[in-house]
Amino acid sequence: MQLIYRFFGVLSLLIGLLAAGCSAQADSTSTNTDAAGGPKLFAVDCTLNPNPATILQENAFSITVKDAQQQKITHATVTFTLSMPEMDHGDITVDAKETEDGLYSAQIVPTMVGKWIVSIHIVANGQTDQLQFPLDAKP
Ligand SMILES: [Cu+2]
């Protein structure tokens, strides 16, 4: 029982940290760690504008990708996949474009109000990493 409690304690702390990353001011960024808690290949700063996201319109979602030495990672292949963890109506995947060195952006369009997860898939230098960011979508 105690183990389960601890697990959820750590999990909710992690989710809290990740949520803080994307629920900060629309024009601010913050650093997030690997959701899996493992050794992180890439450090990601994430920006959502507007924040919270607005449904049925384009919202700019951007990430800066760096390595463990804080060097920007260029020429990565980055996709964002939106899903609603509490529902089962499919995923929306978009390819992010590198708009400046190490900065990858795409427009995301949540289709309904509620809690969404953006799964960020990064392939760079022969390595793959995946991070998850929760976000809220409002009318
Ligand atoms: Cu839904």
For residue 98, report the distance from its CA to the centre of ligand 1, in Å.
29
Q: Token match 């309904």: residue?
A: 112
Share of the chain above pLDDT 70, in %: 71
Name which of 94-98, 110-114, 127-131 the model is least confident about: 127-131
pLDDT tops 70 at residue 4: no
Q: For the full predicted model, state whether its pTM sits above 0.85.
A: no
CA dihedral (22, 28, 31, 37) in degrees, to 10, reads -10
Query: How confident is the model at residue 9, as a pLDDT?
Result: 37
For residue 56, report the distance from its CA to the centre of ligand 1, in Å.
12
For residue 15, report the distance from its CA to the centre of ligand 1, in Å.
20
pLDDT band at 39 (very low <50, low <70, confident <90, very high): low
For residue 11, report the distance from its CA to the centre of ligand 1, in Å.
23
For residue 87, report the distance from its CA to the centre of ligand 1, in Å.
5
**87-111 pLDDT per residue, tens:** 999 999 999 999 999 999 999 999 9
For residue 83, report the distance from its CA to the centre of ligand 1, in Å.
8
**43-56 pLDDT per residue, tens:** 899 999 999 999 99
For residue 16, report the distance from its CA to the centre of ligand 1, in Å.
21
Rounded CA gap, 104 and 76, in Å? 9
For residue 97, report the distance from its CA to the centre of ligand 1, in Å.
26
- For the chain, the average pLDDT equals 79
Q: Are 32 and 63 in contact (CB under 8 A)?
A: no
Q: Coil, strand or helix: which one is 93?
A: strand
Closest residue by Cα to residue 35 from 43, 25, 27:
43
CATH number for region 2-138: 2.60.40.1930
